[in-house]
Amino acid sequence: MADVTFDYQNLLEVEGGLTERELEELSPRLREAVDGLLDGRPGFMRLPRTREYLDASLEVAERVRSSGATDFVHVGIGGSALGPMALHRALSHPFYNLIPDRGGPRLHFAENADPTTLSGILDVIEPEGTWVNVVTKSGSTAETMANFLVIRGALAKALGDFGYQSRTVATTDPEKGFLKRIADREDLSTLPIPPDVGGRFSVLSPVGLLPAAVAGLDAEALLAGAARCVEEVEERRDEHPAVAGAAMHYLMDTSRGRNIRVMMVYADALERLAAWFVQLWAESLGKDGKGSTPHGAVGTTDQHSQLQLYMEGPQDKVIEIVEVGRPPRDVEIPGAYEDLEGVGYLSGHTVGELLGVECDATRRALTEAGRPNDTIRLGSLSEENLGYLMQALEVQTAVAGALYGVNPYDQPGVEAGKRITYRRMGRPGY
Ligand code: PA5
């Protein structure tokens, strides 16, 4: 059973917070937004109950793992990378490539078009044991195809064409696009990105399921958590906390001028989750001159970097704390220097306790300073909880799209730069 809760009390009770009346006034539109989402059933709402993508992903993952693979390179960018990276960072060992604790190959993400990172990946992989998973829904994103061509070239050189082909997976639109054509031509293994699921909403499709399963994570539990979220949204509709949160963040932006939403995660393991959410919220809602600016932060680290601004800077932010009830592991602080009062007091506590106390202290300090904040609490870092949370944040973003009156599923603003890039790089037709 997923254990994820949302606490919005400090958006209401803080000085200048939202009022019940404002929320009531917005509630007909909120109901309409969630009804529209449930009636329209965009592709991402169907993923948690679609067994077919899970089975296909598990089958490929099993082939990778049983082949004795040493390395698995996931090539993709934006929605084709951030979700899988978030899951891997949240649920695998923090130094997974040194300690692949669930018996899978090392995992590498070739995301940016950065020659230094890409060369670094080429330095560490063992070509004889490497699989490559090229992930692009459109089938022609320049960064992804460039990275793929480089890795493909290195593997083909070491293994010959056949060796490379049998260890390549193309995760893409099942019907169209250049990657689909390459896969057909070279008889590559393929996994589908459903045509009605946009990149940033695709983490629970093979985009996220395959790398999760390759690393030995429980992909089935991820979907079970997400399915639980969908069920609860169906039951509770505008009273579901993720849906209610869409209204609160919308009002904080449009009626309080708080147009920055900081997701401050109190776990290093959730740092990539914040990056995933930043893309989801920004690319879905930032259009027609609307949208609030998402920003990721990590507690306690950023208490020593950004908290001063959050406490005393412009009143333009909402801080969303994400905390974990039970860290997967805790570390006791040994006794030493007990005669020095500025150090000795730590003895006998745990590092997890310090993290939790600092998180709570930050929340209280923000509230007392009249800085609106809310909290998302995960009982633990588990596949089920991550699946639930990611689905809930997708629901929230889609509902917020309806409140803002924008289409959350397109991204027309990024096309202009792509066209200029294609022209300058010599792509025919541009
Ligand atoms: O959310 C989106 O649609 C985008 O961020 C895409 O995921 C990103 O541009 C990569 O696109 P593609 O999967 O087609 O390579």
| Residue 282 pLDDT > 90 | yes
Is residue 202 within 6 Å of ligand 1 at its C-beta?
no
The residue-averaged pLDDT of 206-212 equals: 98
Of the pLDDT bands very low, low, confident and very high (cuts 50, 70, 90), residue 404 is: very high
DSSP classification of residue 67: T
Residues 351-378 have pLDDT tens digits of: 999 999 999 999 999 999 999 999 999 9
Q: Is 332 a catalytic residue?
A: no
Ligand 1 atom at shortest distance from the alpha carbon of 141: 15
Of the pLDDT bands very low, low, confident and very high (cuts 50, 70, 90), residue 283 is: very high
First vs last Cα of the chain: how many Å apart?
Answer: 51
Of the pLDDT bands very low, low, confident and very high (cuts 50, 70, 90), residue 103 is: confident
What is the distance between the alpha carbons of residues 280 and 241, in angstroms, rounded to a whole number? 18
Q: Is 304 a catalytic residue?
A: yes
Active-site residue, selected from the candidate residues 143, 283, 320, 384: 283
Q: Is 108 a catalytic residue?
A: no
Is residue 77 within 6 Å of ligand 1 at its C-beta?
yes
Q: Which pLDDT score, from 0 to 100, does residue 160 have?
A: 86
Q: Ligand 1 pocket: which of 138, 176, 414 to mutate (most atoms <8 Å of CB)? A: 138
Q: How far is the CA of 107 from the centre of ligand 1 (A)?
A: 21
Is residue 137 within 6 Å of ligand 1 at its C-beta?
yes
* Residues linked to residue 4 through DSSP beta bridges, in sequence order: 378
Of the pLDDT bands very low, low, confident and very high (cuts 50, 70, 90), residue 278 is: very high
- For residue 117, what are the CA distances in angstroms to 113, 114, 410? 8, 6, 29
Q: 0.85 cut: is pTM over it?
A: yes
Is residue 138 within 6 Å of ligand 1 at its C-beta?
yes
What type of residue is 267?
A
Q: How far is the CA of 54 from the centre of ligand 1 (A)?
A: 21
Q: Is residue 137 a contact partner of residue 193, using CB atoms and an 8 Å limit?
A: yes
Residues 10-35 have pLDDT tens digits of: 999 999 999 999 999 999 999 999 99
Closest-CA residue to 131 (of 90, 103, 170)? 170
Is residue 141 within 6 Å of ligand 1 at its C-beta?
yes
- For residue 322, what are the CA distances in angstroms to 81, 273, 296? 22, 10, 11
Q: How far is the CA of 142 from the centre of ligand 1 (A)?
A: 11
Active-site residue, selected from the candidate residues 20, 24, 304, 341: 304
